[in-house]
Structure 1
Amino acid sequence: MSDFLIIGGGVIGMMTALQLADAGQSVTLVERGECGREASWAGGGIVSPLYPWRYGTPVSRLSRWSEGFYPELSLRLLEETGIDPEYRQKGLLYLRVEDEARALDWARQVGKPLERVGPEVIYAKEPAATPGCEQALWMPTLGSIRNPRLGQALRARLAMMPRVTLREHETVTGLERAASGGVVGARTKEGLIAAGRVIVCGGAWAAQLLESVEVALPVRPVKGQMILFKAPAGLVQRVVLMDGRYVIPRGDGRVLAGSTLEEAGFDKALSVDARESLWQSATRILPALADCEVEHHWAGLRPGSPEGIPFIGAVPGVENLWVNAGHYRNGLVLAPASTRLLVDELLGREPIIDPAPYRLAGRLGGG
């Protein structure tokens, strides 16, 4: 029996497993599909909330702690696995920002480099950007990571660790409770997986998992569709954001464009209308993309939550059960801090930030 059972093999679940194993704990991670193939794979990999000044303090605190984590993690994973997560710190250009004054005030308050720049800077950095921009906001410290590669590297590292057991393509059908009411493991078609403590990191499926112990977690799936252009290398060097949509370059020249926000339950069906909308947005940001092939179109399910604040901590009234879910659009952004915060609590260490805003007590929908 492992010390910990983690349900959900996305970036949140895998980073939790890595930190627990690094701390000498034994971990079983169970995933209904392949590790890192749901929302962690489907997103864009921007290591910041899109408009960070529009979020409340709880999200901002997690984001600020997480920001400097990915360069170190990427180097570690490359060294240990040979898989490069392709962390790039090239900054972000914000075009057509309506609340510019609010953004600059936020940046001054938190000490974040953010400045107003004119066309000479915009087109020196991104010559192919939409013509006619007279001003933009420039955040030089923002980075991005190739999230599918990050997922591959995390999975590969966990597979090498003797304290970690990966169980993929195994769906949890319910949590197992003892007569005392505490959780002692989870059931799958293969039988009971027992553990000292259970952590639900199930993303958009987290609420379904907690229903088996009569806990109503207000986390819902929110669909997002994206497209990928096969573009010439160097067409765009950094993330460019305009009117709530963005383009993200990869090292091989490919350019991601996203994303939609759709309340469609667990339906991941693709739509022609969404593809056209994404194409229109992307080609407005970078007109040259109109001449590039759309190589791929996909959808993922974000774990929506009230105000986008994740649920991190023990489940009230259910002994041995913990949750880390509900990161909405910022799962990858907030993963380093949210997983560290939970692991600190699990192991009795001093927390990196105040855990109170993320606790489940007082935030559950019932049960």
Structure 2
Amino acid sequence: MSDFLVVGGGVIGMMTTLQLADAGHSVTLFERGHCGREASWAGGGIVSPLYPWRYSTPISRLSSWSEGRYPELALRLLEETRVDPEYRQRGLFYLRVDDEARAMDWAREVGKPLERVSADFLYAKEPGAAPGCEGALWMPTLGSIRNPRLTRALRTRLAAMPGVTLREGVEVQGFRRTGDRVTAVETSQGPVAADQVIVCGGAWAAALLADVGVALPVRPVKGQMILFKAPPGLVSRVVLMDGRYVIPRADGRVLAGSTLEEAGFDKTTSDAARESLHASATRIVPGLADCEVEHHWAGLRPGSPDGVPFIGAVPGLENLHVNAGHYRNGLVLAPASTHLLVDELLGREPILDPAPYRLEGRVSLS
């Protein structure tokens, strides 16, 4: 029997597994499909909330801690797996920001480099950006990561670790419990005995916890994105305008996103969303109008009431834990949120105050 069973093979589940294995523990990771193929694959990979000054302090604290860990993590995974997650720290331009004063106040408070720059500065760095801007907000330290490659690198690393067992194509359907302990997880291939269980099921986490009488307020929120096959250099940095964004990759491809749709677990794409995303992207970088749309997809974010994830023990069950509900910021917050939970599991000094993320007082129990 493994020391830990992790349910869900997205970036949260895989980073949790990696940290527990690094600490010398045996871990079995269950994923009903293929690791890293849900929201972690579908997102854009910006290593920051889109407008960070509009988020609450608990999210900002997780984000600030996480951002500084991605360069090291990307280098480690490249060295250990030869899969390059393509972490790029090229900065981000915010165009047409209507709460600029609030943004600058936030930057001063948290010590984040953010400045108002002129049109000349903007177009010197991004000549293809939307014409006619009088200036922009510029965050030079912001990075992005190619999330499909990040998840592939994480999976490759975990598959090579002797203490890790990956069980893909195995769905966890519920839990067996005796008193205040979970004794096994019920899977599509039969029960598996459990010592400690961690639910990292993203948009599916609520259904799993309902099995033990916990009403976790996490729901699927669909997001659609498109990918342009663009020449290298058309856009070199993340550019954000009117709530939509473009994200360049090292090979020239450009992602554009994203929609916010309450559609349950439906992941179908729509022509209306494609047209809307195309219109937004070509307003941000007009040259994209001449580029082929190579791919169009949808993913399901784990939406939560205020975007603050649920991290910690399930009330009333001493060996069942949760890390879910990151909404639009799962990749952004993953290093900090997983480290925080692993600190709790292993009795270490936590990197942050865990109180704002705990389930007590935030979930209903039956």
- Whether these two folds match at TM > 0.5 is yes
CA distance in 2, matches of 1:32, 1:175: 15
2:80 maps to what in 1?
80
Q: CA deviation at 1:105?
A: 0.5
Q: 1:121: which partner in 2?
A: 121
Equivalent in the alignment of 2:234: 235
Partner SS, residue 2 of structure 1? coil
Q: Deviation of residue 218 (structure 1)?
A: 0.4
Query: What is the rounded CA distance, in whole Å, between the counterparts of 1:275 and 1:170 in structure 2?
Result: 33
Specify the alignment match of 1:303 in structure 2.
302
- Structure 1 Cα separation of the partners of residues 165 and 255 of structure 2: 33
Q: In structure 1, what is the equivalent of residue 189 of structure 2? A: 190
Q: Does 1:169 align with 2:176?
A: no
Deviation at 1:306, TM superposition (A): 1.4
Shift of 1:161: 0.3
Aligned residues: 366
**Is the 1:184–1:198 Cα contact (8 Å) retained in structure 2?**
no
C-alpha distance in 2, partners of 1:136/1:50? 15
Secondary structure of the residue aligned to 1:306 is: coil
State the match for 2:99 in structure 1.
99
Whether contact under 8 Å (1:185, 1:197) holds in the other structure is no
Q: 1:176 & 1:296 partners in 2: Cα distance?
A: 42
Identity of aligned residues (%): 79
Partner of 1:154: 154
Distance 1:181 1:142 in 2: 44
CA distance in 2, matches of 1:56, 1:174: 33
Q: Distance in 2 between matches of 1:194 and 1:216?
A: 24
* AA partner of residue 211 (structure 1): A
Q: Could you tell me which residue of structure 2 aligns to residue 217 of structure 1?
A: 216
**Do 1:117 and 1:137's aligned partners in 2 also have CA atoms closer than 8 Å?**
yes
Cα deviations by residue, 1:233-254 (Å, 9 ceiling, x for unpaired): 1111110000000000000000
1:43 Cα deviation from its structure 2 partner: 0.1
Shift of 1:365: 3.4
Which amino acid in 1 is paired with 2:188? K
Letter in 2 for 1:70: Y
Q: Distance in 2 between matches of 1:299 and 1:365?
A: 30
CA shift for structure 1 position 189: 2.1
Deviation at 1:319, TM superposition (A): 2.1
TM-score by length of 2: 0.99
Equivalent residues in 2 for 1:1-367 (5 A)? Answer: 1-178=1-178, 180-367=179-366
Query: What is the rounded CA distance, in whole Å, between the counterparts of 1:39 and 1:341 in structure 2?
Result: 21
Task: Name the aligned partner's letter for residue 93 of structure 1.
Answer: F
Give, in whole Å, the separation in 2 of the partners of 1:329 and 1:189.
29
Gaps of 5+ in 1: none
CA distance in 1, matches of 2:188, 2:36: 22
Is the CA contact 1:16–1:339 (under 8 Å) kept in the aligned structure 2?
yes
SS of 1:265's equivalent?
A: coil
Secondary structure at 1:199 match in 2? strand
Local SS of the residue matching 1:308 = coil
SS in 2 for 1:21: helix
Name segments (4+ residues, structure 1) moved above 2 Å. Answer: none
Distance in 1 separating the partners of 2:182 and 2:96: 50
Distance of 2:188 and 2:117 partners within structure 1? 58
Question: d(CA) in 2 for partners of 1:247 and 1:193?
Answer: 43
Is contact 1:5-1:185 (8 Å) kept? no
CA contact (8 A) 1:186 1:193 kept: yes
1:245-276 C-alpha deviation (Å, 9 max, x unpaired): 00000000000000000000000011100000
SS of match in other structure, 1:289: helix
Task: Output the amino acid matched with 1:81.
Answer: T
Alpha-carbon distance in 2 for matches of 1:189, 1:253: 42
State the Cα distance separating 1:342 from its structure 2 match: 0.1
TM-score normalised per structure 1: 0.99
Aligned-pair CA distance for 1:175: 1.3
SS across alignment from 1:248? strand
SS in 2 for 1:307: coil
Residue type of the partner of 1:66? S
- 1:16 CA displacement: 0.2
Look up the equivalent residue of 1:337 and give its one-letter code: A
